[in-house]
Amino acid sequence: MEATRKAKILYIEDDPASRMLVERTLCFAGYQVVVAARGLEGIDLARREHPDLILTDINLPDLTGREVTTVLRSEAAFANTPIVALTAQTQRDQRDMSMVAGVSGYLTKPVDIEALPEQIEHYLHGARDNSLDTMSLAAARTQYMRELVERLEGRIRELETFNQSLLHLDKMKDIFIQLTAHELRTPLTLVYGYSRLLQDNPLVKSVIQQNPDTLALMQGMNDSIVRIQKIINEILTMSRIITNQIDLAIGMMDLGRIAMQAIEQFRQALQDRNLTLVFDPAEWPQRMQADWELLHLALSNLLSNAIKYTPDGGTITMRAMANENQVKISFKDTGIGIAPEIQATIFERFQTTHNVQLHSTSKTAYRGGGIGLGLAICKGIVEAHGGHIWVESPGFDEQRFPGSEFIIEMPLVAQNHSAL
């Protein structure tokens, strides 16, 4: 029998040898053939390729062929598509379950290669294996439903076990990071102290006077130590946030002054990068209850982020609008913007918006990187004060620079600290 002109067959089979043999046989017979090794892959291919017939093994590593059939039959596009099951199981109840799942028929494995093209053509022309009688149909449906429930329960147990393992690994990771940060902190402090002592030593001062480059080298070493200390402090702050061990030292403060001190940290970087900073301290409330150190850290991180992702010559606008109950703080830039899919996860730990393979560590260089904790720390600090933070951006564009806006809303009176 001549093959239906250019009929497309989807073949789902996890065994490579069987897959290759059947694929070559069908191609030689004149069919277009697409293949999948797993059930989920087969479902995706079916939706994409719209085959004229689907040939599926019953025993697949993820979903069974019956489950694949049930999924596809639930979609209007495959209501009338011939689906043929391949199985080595000869028991009547197993075949009945396949019919209940929605297959048009079944072929026995090992496949009869010589007869296969004619069998495929048979199903392409609308053939369907004998329907079940009422009693057999009810029994097969009950058995199939029991099989589905048992497999579902097994998958749920597997997922629960896997989830517990992931939670344990995540906890161990956090403990490791925290312990490592603590272990690094002490020797770094000692190295920094010894470096300062060396610079104050009369003999070293004499060497520096004779060779000024030595002072620059020592200053570079000290600056590097300070940078490492800041990274360690970020890790420890993040650990406190994760474990809910962040203790707020609440006091009355001038939010505008905190913002100005954050700006002062980056004054030189703003000048070097020719960035315009729009900031009016009169907008910022002079009386607010908060943890000065943590809020200063949050504002500094947001300003650093705006500087890093705004090109030279761009503009950063810091604003605050307060009513009698809360303050709304905004950091808006004319930078490269943030893609929608990244906006959803940008406040998570170790999230970065750039290619880590092109990583360049800097808090002020254009597109300079960090370890991905700055915004997560901001979120933790803001939420510890009873506020929330979010980002708004039209999207990412390195040519048009749509910009981003990070917005914080916080109460002016700290929770449980109204009587300060």
Average pLDDT over residues 40-49: 94
Q: How many domains does the chain have?
A: 3
For residues 30 and 24, is the Cβ–Cβ distance under 8 A?
A: no
In terms of Cβ atoms closer than 10 Å to its own Cβ (0-12, 13-18, 19+), residue 168 is exposed
For residues 56 and 42, is the Cβ–Cβ distance under 8 A?
A: yes
Q: What is the pLDDT of residue 273?
A: 94
Q: Of 112, 131, 150, which residue sits at a domain end?
A: 131
How many other C-beta atoms lie within 10 A of the C-beta of residue 299? Answer: 24
Confidence of residue 1 (pLDDT cuts 50, 70, 90): very low
Element at 194 (helix H, strand E):
helix 134-200
Confidence of residue 93 (pLDDT cuts 50, 70, 90): low
For residues 236 and 183, is the Cβ–Cβ distance under 8 A?
A: no
Q: Of 217, 242, 267, which residue sits at a domain end?
A: 242
Within a domain: 81: yes
Average pLDDT over residues 106-113: 87
Confidence of residue 415 (pLDDT cuts 50, 70, 90): low
Within a domain: 155: no
Q: What is the pLDDT of residue 263?
A: 95
Q: What is the pLDDT of residue 212?
A: 75
pTM of this structure: 0.57
Helix (H, G, I), strand (E, B), or coil: what is residue 9?
A: strand
Q: What is the pLDDT of residue 358?
A: 44
Is the predicted pLDDT of residue 341 greater than 70, yes or no? yes
Range of the domain at 337: 250-411
pLDDT one-digit tens code per residue, 3-25:
556 799 999 999 999 999 999 99
Q: Are residues 69 and 91 in the same domain?
A: yes
Q: What is the CA radius of gyration of the chain?
A: 33
Nearest to 307 by CA among 359, 262, 358: 262
Average pLDDT over residues 194-215: 78
Q: How far does CA 208 lie from the centroid of its chain?
A: 50
Helix (H, G, I), strand (E, B), or coil: what is residue 140?
A: helix
Q: What is the pLDDT of residue 20?
A: 94
Q: Which of 92-96, 108-112, 212-216 has the lowest mean pLDDT?
A: 92-96
The arrangement of strands across the sheet holding 8-12 comes to 32-36, 8-12, 53-57, 83-87, 105-108
Q: Are residues 233 and 258 in the same domain?
A: no
Q: Are residues 123 and 42 in the same domain?
A: yes
Half-sphere exposure of 257 (CA within 13 A, CB side): 9
Q: What is the pLDDT of residue 247?
A: 81
Q: Of 242, 260, 276, which residue sits at a domain end?
A: 242
Q: Are residues 269 and 387 in the same domain?
A: yes
Residues 19 and 15: their CA atoms lie apart, in Å, by 6
Within a domain: 407: yes
Within a domain: 150: no
Q: Are residues 223 and 289 in the same domain?
A: no
User: β-strands 53-57, 83-87: how paired?
Assistant: parallel
Is the predicted pLDDT of residue 157 greater than 70, yes or no? yes
Q: What is the CATH number of the domain that holds 361?
A: 3.30.565.10
Mean of per-residue pLDDT scores for the chain: 84
pLDDT one-digit tens code per residue, 382-399:
999 999 999 999 999 999
pLDDT one-digit tens code per residue, 55-66:
999 889 888 888
How many other C-beta atoms lie within 10 A of the C-beta of residue 20? Answer: 12
User: Identity (one letter) of the amino acid at 84?
Assistant: V
Q: Are residues 92 and 230 in the same domain?
A: no
φ, ψ dihedrals at 248, nearest 5°? -85, 125
Is the predicted pLDDT of residue 152 greater than 60, yes or no? yes
Tokens of 382: 């803001």
Is the predicted pLDDT of residue 188 greater than 70, yes or no? yes
Half-sphere exposure of 347 (CA within 13 A, CB side): 19
Confidence of residue 137 (pLDDT cuts 50, 70, 90): low
Q: Are residues 229 and 263 in the same domain?
A: no
Within a domain: 154: no
Residues 252 and 324: their CA atoms lie apart, in Å, by 15
Within a domain: 97: yes
Q: What is the CATH number of the domain that holds 88?
A: 3.40.50.2300
Q: Are residues 263 and 214 in the same domain?
A: no
Q: Are residues 392 and 310 in the same domain?
A: yes
User: Identity (one letter) of the amino acid at 249?
Assistant: A
For residues 339 and 360, is the Cβ–Cβ distance under 8 A?
A: no
φ, ψ dihedrals at 250, nearest 5°? -75, 135
Tokens of 79: 């209501």
Helix (H, G, I), strand (E, B), or coil: what is residue 420?
A: coil
Beta bridge partners of 314: none
Q: What is the pLDDT of residue 194?
A: 80
Sign of the CA dihedral 25, 28, 33, 37?
positive
Q: Are residues 40 and 175 in the same domain?
A: no
Q: What is the pLDDT of residue 400?
A: 92
Q: Are residues 382 and 325 in the same domain?
A: yes
Q: What is the pLDDT of residue 418?
A: 40
Within a domain: 202: yes
Angle at 198 between CA 195 and CA 200, to 5 degrees: 115
Average pLDDT over residues 313-332: 94
Q: Which of 117-121, 184-188, 222-226, 363-367 has the lowest mean pLDDT?
A: 363-367
Q: Are residues 68 and 182 in the same domain?
A: no
Is the predicted pLDDT of residue 205 greater than 80, yes or no? no
Within a domain: 417: no
Average pLDDT over residues 254-282: 94
Is the predicted pLDDT of residue 356 greater than 60, yes or no? no
